[in-house]
Structure 1
């Protein structure tokens, strides 16, 4: 059984206490906490947790052990550890998804049995603690960079804007490979920029694409803009730079590829601020040293449509999106593709996102999962292994959403108040399949509206959803509809054209053999010392970064 080690440093004045720990989504309720106090220069530690009323409780099993601690000149330094999996339901189970780290300095050491006062300012840091151990990327000496940025636009004073800007890639006489890219966010605009994509325009190199710089057009696009669909770079809130694997790079340049791209920036301005300028975009690093394969990005999950919706007042409602065998059979190369990175994406109600992988009805290891997903921390995560997807495989992306605080239906769509469920997978070798997503078939949804007594006075899907009285039985019926009813498929090329076939009514993939959940290996009431000598040591450098943040940032109040 592995151990995890922590080093915690903070400024703590006489009479103050310190809390550090984890919770599912950054709340101070339902948290796993270490409480530290000082006495005559020495440090003491208690393993605690909080209930739904913010009352601090002493954990019956003290699984956190203090290794060393000192308090000198108002500086506290503590080192402690615990088993990676303590088998204690009151301790947070650290996994490969997002971890919400919380911390606070309190006036007086918090005492078990007392409610944490609302005046306590709790810091929050979202991190992925368990990152795969990957080889260092190969950065050739000729590597250079360029930016695709908004041209100092004024952010519109409305809740949601998708800003489009047509521009050109640098002039490159020969093919080059993009080997790394990252978001470039205008300083001070972090609250406005939700996500960014750069789409390559799939047109003849001699074709001039119409200039455009303004809010995105839902309809009335020119044919050239319709062809700007192939994603070559993406960023979302919380994402850091992504390095492509040494096997692959994104192709740009040369005589056969257009230089035109469409920059799309999703801007979120709920306070309707005016006069804010923005020059955000994406920075690309490029080399002339070509790698063995061209890389591509594919969209899995749900179509951007209001046919998919989440009833109000739901703590956990699942939206599944399908990439079906009939699509991968005709769209993937004969030897398949290898997925090396994944970016999960929802809007504000997303709580858990995962993609399952099936072959001939047999469930294989999951592609990616985040059980504590946050729309404010949407990293492009490099996978610990490159997942081999063959023609005929199915990929099912599910988003578990919470509308517990909403009183009306949440529709699928582009607005930040609407919802999405997408997994942007990065893979090689590049193929023509750009979008493999689904939505419920029209006739199945219309049948549901009839049974749910939705209004018959309108054919508008949104109006019919809004007219339903969402009783528990109707919610359950909608959930079953999404899981079992026929679906409409987007099995699309990068130009937006569907692959040959009839895609309006397809069956969801049949699962013949689900994968068994991995055993935790927990044995009830194993004493800590019984496994003390056999533990493998894990040092997580991410914690050092979290603690540095902790000593300076207490602006977040929960």
Structure 2
């Protein structure tokens, strides 16, 4: 085992491994002599492997007092290999911010803050922003601890925010100096997604009487088709007394991680003793049994990338008791683009429950855009917006007088989604965002706990915006259930429980019909009211002008609202032709504390 010399330890103490702010060149020397190893930090709160071969292991802590992230990186590399780990908008190796390590012919180890340009060529950053804390090389593994500020005010560095962080990394061979102008796209770069700036919240302790159960698919043979929503009706375990669900998590069949896209468990809102029809098959198939519309109340949800959800200590999802039906419906969305055959699956959700009740019953509400093919994204669009409205008229009739507190949120789109955010509006004034992810990935749909719960009052509105990139598609992308279709929703976890289950919108039917008829008369498109909306959108001759016309239609048209109760019925109100939410006083962007450096994106939240 190799370690550090006393001289190195002294240098580290005096300069903290060459402090980034006061030294242009960030070089550290790990002299491989048989001396005691440098002590590593005792504990990091978070960790993940970056690759399936486990050559890269990352640990980290977040300090919200100093706005600094502390990292510990283990890289399994040979002496003649160099590596880089960094960050980019969506995990691409180009236009990325890198931490680069290599060793020279004298076995001295070096690190630099670097960046790649649009062609993937690597360059040293003039502003070095990593502070090295310790390091050692041991049995073909490089272990280095370092720290970096959330926002370095360097345009070649990637600011850390509260959304998804896309990590890009690679290993090169045969380099004994900084690999200036090396093309990183030729080095088989890989990527991983994490929630780097996790909220600084305590994990509630489970009561001693906590127990668990799972609701899983009954060894389903996944159909050999791209998209399947599988439904399975079953029963909860006996719970004669009321319990609270205090945690749930995905229970994914080993080997099926790439085909299980998301899972929901719905409670069937019927009286105890009433039997719900048994069903085990595709949820969108014709001929499915009647009576399953009552199975709408979500009690557990998971999507790719989601970690276990721990409810706050004051709330739990109610379940069980003499007046609670045991009927539930499991829905599993299988995404099988390579049309695998004969794959068996028994995935589902694991629940943690306790009879020790908490102060509040909690619930899950769905906001955003209705799953309907009246919505479409034109092809060849870079960032086309869908906006889903939970209007004030709905919350006014559906929420309790004291309002609700949203403590967690899960954002959801399909493959072209790039950015999602939920605005909170009260009397025309935009309040702080409920949730946001400006580097969203449909492959990492974590349930994010909110550092400060959003307090939604009756009469408030929530506006969910999704932005999509269809630049590589030649046909319109339609709203719908298939993975190649699109969605724009968020699952809001809140307390106290109320009867508002769904608050979503779509364009008014009359408005889209009138537009399709206009396109036939003005542009000669072969649209027809005898066709479905999907076929009509496929009949449009998409140009920059027709795409702009559709965008303007969505921005200005009245809404068709789903203001639905848990049993699927709508609250009383005028829901067809409802007005869109108007923001009279937008939220001011949070300025970066960086003179001369431009802001990045919409209301970037650095802390």
In the superposition, the TM-score normalised over structure 1's length comes to 0.91
Paired with 1:418 and 1:45, the residues of 2 have a C-alpha distance of 44
The 3-state SS of whatever aligns with 2:578 is: coil
Question: Does 101-110 or 274-283 show the bigger shift?
Answer: 101-110
Q: Are 2:527 and 1:456 aligned?
A: yes
Paired with 1:253 and 1:74, the residues of 2 have a C-alpha distance of 54
* Alpha-carbon offset, residue 423 of structure 1: 0.4
Q: Structure 1 residues 451 and 285 mapped into 2: Cα distance closer, same or farther (>3 Å)?
A: same
Query: Contact 2:527 / 2:539 at 8 angstroms: preserved in 1?
Result: no
* Alpha-carbon offset, residue 510 of structure 1: 1.4
* Alpha-carbon offset, residue 247 of structure 1: 1.2
1:487 to 538, 550, 559: 559
Paired with 2:546 and 2:427, the residues of 1 have a C-alpha distance of 33
* 1:108-507 aligned within 5 A: 108-109=174-175, 111-116=179-184, 118=186, 120-217=187-284, 221-452=288-519, 453=523, 454-457=525-528, 458-507=530-579
Paired with 1:496 and 1:220, the residues of 2 have a C-alpha distance of 20
Paired with 2:505 and 2:221, the residues of 1 have a C-alpha distance of 35
Q: Structure 1 residues 463 and 27 mapped into 2: Cα distance closer, same or farther (>3 Å)?
A: same
- CA deviations 1:467-523 (Å, max 9, x no partner) are 111111221222222222111000001111111122111110111100100111112
Paired with 1:79 and 1:500, the residues of 2 have a C-alpha distance of 59
Paired with 2:527 and 2:131, the residues of 1 have a C-alpha distance of 64
Q: Are 2:92 and 1:32 aligned?
A: no
Q: Structure 1 residues 212 and 56 mapped into 2: Cα distance closer, same or farther (>3 Å)?
A: same
The 3-state SS of whatever aligns with 2:493 is: strand
The residue number in structure 2 matching 1:88 is 154
The 3-state SS of whatever aligns with 1:505 is: strand
Q: Are 2:174 and 1:101 aligned?
A: no
* Alpha-carbon offset, residue 67 of structure 1: 4.1
Query: Contact 1:198 / 1:233 at 8 angstroms: preserved in 2?
Result: yes
* Alpha-carbon offset, residue 68 of structure 1: 4.2
* Alpha-carbon offset, residue 73 of structure 1: 5.0
The residue number in structure 2 matching 1:2 is 67
2:584 to 506, 512, 535: 512
Q: Structure 1 residues 255 and 475 mapped into 2: Cα distance closer, same or farther (>3 Å)?
A: same
Q: Structure 1 residues 83 and 283 mapped into 2: Cα distance closer, same or farther (>3 Å)?
A: closer
Question: Does 248-257 or 475-484 show the bigger shift?
Answer: 475-484
Q: Structure 1 residues 217 and 84 mapped into 2: Cα distance closer, same or farther (>3 Å)?
A: closer
Q: Structure 1 residues 71 and 142 mapped into 2: Cα distance closer, same or farther (>3 Å)?
A: closer
Paired with 1:115 and 1:145, the residues of 2 have a C-alpha distance of 50
Query: Contact 1:324 / 1:393 at 8 angstroms: preserved in 2?
Result: yes
Query: Contact 2:504 / 2:562 at 8 angstroms: preserved in 1?
Result: yes
The residue number in structure 2 matching 1:541 is none
Q: Structure 1 residues 243 and 117 mapped into 2: Cα distance closer, same or farther (>3 Å)?
A: closer
The residue number in structure 2 matching 1:14 is 79
* 1:505-544 aligned within 5 A: 505-524=577-596
- CA deviations 1:50-104 (Å, max 9, x no partner) are 1221111222322234444444554323333333211111110110111011221
Q: Which ranges of 4 or more aligned residues in structure 1 deviate by more than 6 Å? A: none
Paired with 1:26 and 1:474, the residues of 2 have a C-alpha distance of 32
* Alpha-carbon offset, residue 10 of structure 1: 1.6
Query: Contact 1:299 / 1:434 at 8 angstroms: preserved in 2?
Result: yes
Query: Contact 2:150 / 2:161 at 8 angstroms: preserved in 1?
Result: no
Return 5+ residue gaps in structure 2 as ranges: 1-65, 598-606
The 3-state SS of whatever aligns with 2:184 is: coil
The 3-state SS of whatever aligns with 2:147 is: strand
Paired with 1:413 and 1:124, the residues of 2 have a C-alpha distance of 29
Q: Structure 1 residues 220 and 494 mapped into 2: Cα distance closer, same or farther (>3 Å)?
A: farther
Query: Contact 1:153 / 1:277 at 8 angstroms: preserved in 2?
Result: yes
Paired with 1:11 and 1:268, the residues of 2 have a C-alpha distance of 33
* 1:55-70 aligned within 5 A: 55-70=121-136
Taking only aligned residues, the RMSD between alpha carbons, in angstroms, comes to 1.7
The 3-state SS of whatever aligns with 2:577 is: coil
Paired with 2:238 and 2:79, the residues of 1 have a C-alpha distance of 63
Figure out how many residues of one structure are paired with residues of the other and give that number. 525
Paired with 1:293 and 1:79, the residues of 2 have a C-alpha distance of 42
Question: Does 58-67 or 358-367 show the bigger shift?
Answer: 58-67
Q: Structure 1 residues 451 and 53 mapped into 2: Cα distance closer, same or farther (>3 Å)?
A: farther
Paired with 1:73 and 1:165, the residues of 2 have a C-alpha distance of 50
Query: Contact 1:43 / 1:71 at 8 angstroms: preserved in 2?
Result: no
Paired with 2:572 and 2:211, the residues of 1 have a C-alpha distance of 40
Q: Structure 1 residues 32 and 145 mapped into 2: Cα distance closer, same or farther (>3 Å)?
A: same
Query: Contact 1:175 / 1:288 at 8 angstroms: preserved in 2?
Result: yes
Q: Structure 1 residues 218 and 480 mapped into 2: Cα distance closer, same or farther (>3 Å)?
A: farther
* Alpha-carbon offset, residue 12 of structure 1: 2.5
